[in-house]
Amino acid sequence: MKGLRQTFAHDTWVMPYLRKYKGLLILVLFLGFMTFFSGGALMFNSGYLISEAARRPSSIIYIYVPVVLARAFGIARPSFRYVERLTSHNWVLKIVSDFRKKLYQSVEKKASAIQRSHQTGDILSILVDDIEHIENLYLRTVFPMVIGWLLYVFIVIAIGAMNWVVGILLLLLLGVIIILMPLISVTTNGVREYRQHQIQHTFYTNLTDEVLGLGDWLISGRYDDFMALQKKPIEQIAKLRRHDHYYQWWRSFFVQVMVLLSVLVLLVWSAYSFTATKSLANWVAAFALAIFPAVSPFLNISQGASEWPVYRRSIERVNQLDAGGDGHPVKQTSLSEPFKDLSIKQLSFQYPDGDRKVVDHISMTIHPGEKVALLGPSGTGKSTLLKLMVGDLTPDDGSVEINGQNILSLQDVRSSLFGILDQQPYLFDTTVMNNVRLGNTNASDDAVKDAIAAVGLKDLIESLPAQYNTEVQEAGQRFSGGERQRLSLARILLQDAPIIILDEPTVSLDPITEKKLLDKVFELLHDKTIIWVTHHLAGIAHVDQVRFLEHGNFDMQGTPQELYKQEARFRQLYDLDRGK
Amino acid sequence: MIDKRLFALPGMRRYVIILGVLVFFQAVAIIVQARYLSIAIVGLWNLQSFKAIVGPTIIFMIAFLCRHLLTVWQNRVFFPYVEKTSGQIREKLMAKIFRLGPAEIEKRGTGNIVTMALEGIDKVQTYLMLVIIKVLDMSITPWLVLLYILFLRWEQAIFLFIIFPVIILFMIILGYAAQAKADRQYEGYQRLSNHFVDTLRGLSTLKQLGLSKRYADNVYEVSESYRKETMSTLKIALTSTFALDFFTTLSIAVVAVFLGFDLLDGKVTLLPALTILVLAPEYFMPIRNFANDYHATLNGKNALTAVLDVLNEPEMKQRDELPSFKWDNQSQLVLSHVSLTYPESKQPALKNISINIQGMKKIGIIGASGSGKSTLVNLIGGFLSPDQPDQVAINGQKLPHLNQEAWQQNFLYIPQNPYLFHATLAQNIAFYVDHATSESIRNAAERAGLTKWIKSLPAGLETMIGEGARSVSGGQAQRIALARAFLDTDRKILLFDEPTAHLDIETEAALKKDILPVFDNHLVFFATHRLHWIGEMDYVLVMDHGRLVEQGTPQELANQNGDYVKLRSEMEASDL
């Protein structure tokens, strides 16, 4: 119970939506109740019908009402069920739309424009799964449980009104099924689920590890070790699952015993209360037959409840997304005149969990049209510097200013200032035309085609059957790495921002493709300001200024020509890169 | 309805018979239960006291308990078999993964394979557990119940008998109508789900373009239009369930009404009528259960198909043609006119490759991307098989392919991103060597230039690395692979596949110093497009569009002024 309160203490994913779509929710519950009510009523009515008929009353009039009711309930039950299923699906799908938007917005808030890879895909799939889990929470746990409780209250009150002792007995017996058993299931299963989740996680990690390292396993010839590694977690999971199954089977059996006891209570009650007159005795069959369909929704409530730990993890995870908040929002402005300079003033930054200053009092000024290359070993803070420059990170000290205005106050107009080409520019699963047009959503078809022609892809695209309407497929698979970079470059051309950031755009390309791409980039963007982070020295002749970042500072700087003449280290690296 | 493949599982037939017997007894218990409940009720209806019905009530209770105990029993009997069988399938799958090797697995996607071995097998287990018992239930219980009703009153039995195929027929007709739409809807769902993940993955790009805020509404709209589409299909898709529900419920109502009229006319007495009414829902119960679990069984069926697909995948056989040997100065590897075509493509990836290599040499493999460098390395490593057998030979022995255990015992493979296992640094270094002493591991790490880094780690060589533990930079990963080579002095062949392509130039320069010593007294294959490595090679293979266009010493190739010279000039940067 405490855990339950904890889970929902700061919940913004479950409760608000229960409130938002209250009307539909009540309808779903009502329809669900009516489905089972009709099911019970059908048997109740039928039991009465044949008992009354067996008395062989003088006229058909005596059984006329039950005859009509039998047909009515017979049709009502499936109809209610049909409408209930439609309504509940509609309800859940409405929530899904809201969820998706909400999840998108939460992730969007934290996303950075500077990103080295799309590995986050895994985390994203987990979140997408979480949303599905919450859908199931409604469909498999919340709805059946609430409908079950409504029915429970109805049965207990209806019978309690006739005989309070029987009412209390049923309250207890059925209460065991729909309150006590689910609670026990949550506790026992919660622990087991938690263990199982942990083992499964280990198993998953181990197995992924094995499959990814398969080449090494194969060459090492360690077949037996390979197979043995999986044995333990598999056995552990099998054991847990076996216990889980046994528990479920016996639980179902126990639930049936409770049902049996309820039937017995009804029989005994009938024997003492309904055997006074013949017309009263006709109700015996009604009650005895109705009990089975009436309790049928109770049978699976425990199962739904025992899935709660899975849902709980999901709810907690998505709720964590919202935590953290925005920090201090900075008042946003825009630039009144064209880009004059970008100056970095005494900039310092250290990650909260880091042990050193990644950027340590760095200063530099970049003027329009300048081309700067940033180098340094990996992990030295080049991409951190870029994140600070565009305002995705807030510096501990110092500032980044454009025309004297702090970049943090220019976030709303950022895309009119910076164009970014990174390692793996993302192409969305739509057409070439749509992808390139993302650079400027107001661009005409001709403008898009011009941009594609400028990056040298006109012939390729026009040779495809669907031409500019060719689907790029998932993550742009339709095209090679170099082609993807060119399409993104076209996007940047349309975006037409004064400052272009190149974040190792050629890292996964071969030297020939790399050289061609760089030539193209610097040719097309000759009038732009370019800040280029690169991992080696190919194409370095394109820039005016080279800066080496190491230990949070620039430790070598100058034009490439100067550095080549003066710095032995630079010369050695450059020659190495040229293959000497 | 029932999957024939299930009967091919060893021991299945025996269990089907045992379960069939249990289901039969359960059906008998159901009939006894209904009969004695009816007797008890009729007793009360005749205004008898409770004492009079104690007997039938007890029999009813016993039958009721037996029925549900039999359910537990069926599960208990069958589960160990299902557990064992699915465990065996999982084991077979793992063994198959090992034999298929990395190239095949990569094609299917690591994620897919892992999911299949975990959740896929779980689904198969659920499937086995569900489908056999449900199908037996459906093919025994209703008919036994019907037989009993026939014995009580044939008119109702005939009605129930006729309605059964009608239900099935309607389900099939409506099911077919809905199926096409439902399939399309499932595709729509996939598309939507992909669209959503796609959008999330491309978030940083959207942010770069200043579109990320606006896209939130797009996400919502796409989802809403999907909802509307889904609802319109669901209206049809759910009719199949509705038909089942409608006919079964209405049949019970109809039976009740007709029994009422017959009772009125005195054609039947209360006891058989009541028994029939109690049994009518039981008659429909198995088919309803089956329909309820339909989706779970469908998932399991698909999972089983996917697993069997992998298990039936052709694999390279004859892995032990080559006797155990050690590569030395006299050893010889010959490829003669080897071609290699990937199964799904028409164009061969390697065409007519012939090389002859003897003893310890340093062989560079260069070419533009897509020229076949990696494919050649994979062929030499035995991960891919040539189109024709007997085109490769080691020490004069012709072989079907190089996926020979004895050959693989002789080399180390160092790709662009050497895989680091989730284990300690020491275990990673000693992956290829059993019982390596910590002294020798330390020594190998030292030679690979790892000592300084290891000192900075909290637990030194015992630090956990790999997925989910301390992350390791690309340069250090290469050094760990290098340490493996230093440690394992038995393996005399080193296969490098673009080991430094993604490293920054400073890291590469430092790494090169430590790599060069390991080349000594080894046969080295080094595929790269970083030209400075060529200076260290004895012999160079120049690849272009799957062909081996030139081979020779760097000096010979430079003098020939052919493809090698052309390739170099294309790759090289200008003077500063």
The domain tally of chain A equals: 2
CB-CB under 8 Å, B474 with A82: no
Q: Which residue has the tokens 């200024």?
A: A545
Instruction: Provide the pLDDT confidence category of residue B546 given band limits of 50, 70 and 90.
Output: confident
Same domain, B247 and B354: no
Residues of chain B contacting residue A200, judged by C-beta atoms under 8 Å apart? 118
pLDDT in tens, B228-242: 877 877 777 777 778
- Is the pLDDT at A148 greater than 80, yes or no? yes
Residue of A55, A212, A382 for testing the chain B interface, max B β-carbons within 10 Å:
A212
CATH number for the domain including A463?
A: 3.40.50.300
Residue type, B50: F
The 10s digit of each residue's pLDDT in B396-411 is 888 888 888 888 888 8
Closest Cα of chain A to B23: distance in Å?
A: 16
Outline where B46-117 has alpha helix (H). Answer: 54-108, 110-115
* pLDDT tens figures, A223-241: 888 888 878 878 888 888 8
> In the predicted model, what is the mean pLDDT of chain A?
81
Percent of chain B topping pLDDT 70: 93
> Is the confidence at residue A270, as pLDDT, over 60?
yes
Q: Which of A284, A302, A322 is the last residue of a domain?
A: A322
Min Cα distance B514 → chain A (Å) is 16
Predicted confidence band of residue A328 (pLDDT cuts 50, 70, 90)? low
Question: Is the same domain home to B501 and B403?
Answer: yes
* pLDDT confidence band for B51 (50 / 70 / 90): confident
Give the total number of structural domains in chain B: 2
Average pLDDT on A76-94 reads: 88
How confident is the model over A487-506, as a mean pLDDT? 84
Gap from B354 CA to chain A (nearest CA, Å): 24
Domain closes at, from A443, A464, A496: A496
Q: How far is CA A83 from the centre of its chain?
A: 30
Nearest to B95 among A57, A227, A422 (CB): A227
Question: According to the model, what pLDDT value does residue A120 have?
Answer: 46
Mean pLDDT estimate for chain B: 84
Please return the burial class of B293, using the count of CB atoms within 10 Å of its CB with bins 0-12, 13-18 and 19+.
middle
ipTM given for this complex: 0.80
- Out of B245, B267, B289, pick the residue that ends a domain: B267
> Which helix or strand (DSSP H or E) is residue A508 part of?
none
Q: Give pLDDT tens digits for B472-481.
A: 777 788 888 8
Task: Report the residue from A220, A238, A271 with minimal CB separation from B432.
Answer: A220
Q: Does the pLDDT value for residue A56 go beyond 70?
A: yes
Q: Which of the 8 DSSP states describes residue B51?
A: G
Q: How far is CA B53 from CA A292, B44, B272, B332, in A?
A: 20, 8, 17, 94
Supply angle C-alpha A277, A282, A284, rounded to 5.
Answer: 105
Q: Which residue has the higher pLDDT, B274 or B573?
A: B274
> Which of A475, A496, A517 finishes a domain?
A496
Query: Quick one: three-class SS letters along A237-305?
Result: HHHHHHHHHHHHHHHHHHHHHHHHHHHHHHHHHHHHHCCCCHHHHHHHHHHHHHHHHHHHHHCCHHHHH
pLDDT at residue B188 is higher than 70: no
In this predicted structure, the answer to whether residue B25 has a pLDDT above a threshold of 90 is: yes
In a domain, B461, yes or no: no
Q: State whether B235 and B341 are in the same domain.
A: no
Tell if the CB–CB gap between A203 and B37 is shorter than 8 Å: no
B24 against B564, higher pLDDT: B24
Range of the domain at B206: 154-267
State residue B181's pLDDT score: 61
- Together in a domain, B178 and B251: yes
Predicted confidence (pLDDT) per residue in B243-298, tens digit: 888 888 888 888 888 888 888 888 888 899 999 988 998 999 898 888 777 766 77
B199: CB partners within 8 A, 6+ apart: A104, A428, B206, B215, B218, B219
Instruction: Provide the pLDDT for residue A121.
Output: 47
Helix axes B505-519, A568-577, angle to 10 degrees: 70
Q: Which residues contact A11 (CB under 8 A, 6 or more apart)?
A: A315, A319
Summarize the confidence of residues A51-61 as an average pLDDT.
83
Question: Does A75 share its domain with A223?
Answer: yes
Report the pLDDT value the prediction gives residue A118, as an integer from 0 to 100.
Answer: 43
Range of the domain at A133: 2-322
Angle (deg, nearest 10), helices B54-108 and A223-273:
150
Q: Is B45 close to A54, i.e. CB distance below 8 A?
A: yes
- Looking at residue A580, what is its pLDDT? 66
Same domain for B172 and B262: yes
**CATH, residue A287:** 1.20.1560.10
Query: Would you state the pLDDT for residue A326?
Result: 54
DSSP letter for each residue of B398-444: EES-S--HHHHTTEEEE-SS----SEEHHHHHTTTSTT--HHHHHHH
For an interface test with A, the pick among B22, B236, B506 (most A C-beta atoms closer than 10 Å) comes out as B506
Is B484 among the domain residues? no
Tell whether B346 and B255 lie within a shared domain: no
- Residue B62: is its pLDDT beyond 90? yes
Q: Do A205 and B422 touch (CB under 8 A)?
A: yes
Tell me the per-residue pLDDT of A497-536, one tens digit each, with 9 for 90 and over.
888 888 887 777 778 878 888 888 888 888 888 888 888 8
pLDDT tens digits, A358-398: 788 888 888 888 888 888 777 677 878 888 888 888 888 88
Better pLDDT: A130 or A26: A26
| CATH number of B527's domain | 3.40.50.300
The answer to whether A108 contacts B507, with C-beta atoms less than 8 Å apart, is no
State which of B235, B250, B267 marks the end of a domain. B267
Pick the range with the lowest mean pLDDT from A335-339, A486-490, B173-177: B173-177
Say yes or no: B353 and B502 in one domain. Answer: yes
- In chain B, the N- to C-terminal Cα span, in Å, equals 75
- DSSP one-letter code for B470: B
Q: Is the pLDDT of residue B74 over 90?
A: yes
Q: How far apart are CA A556 and CA A534, in angstroms?
A: 15
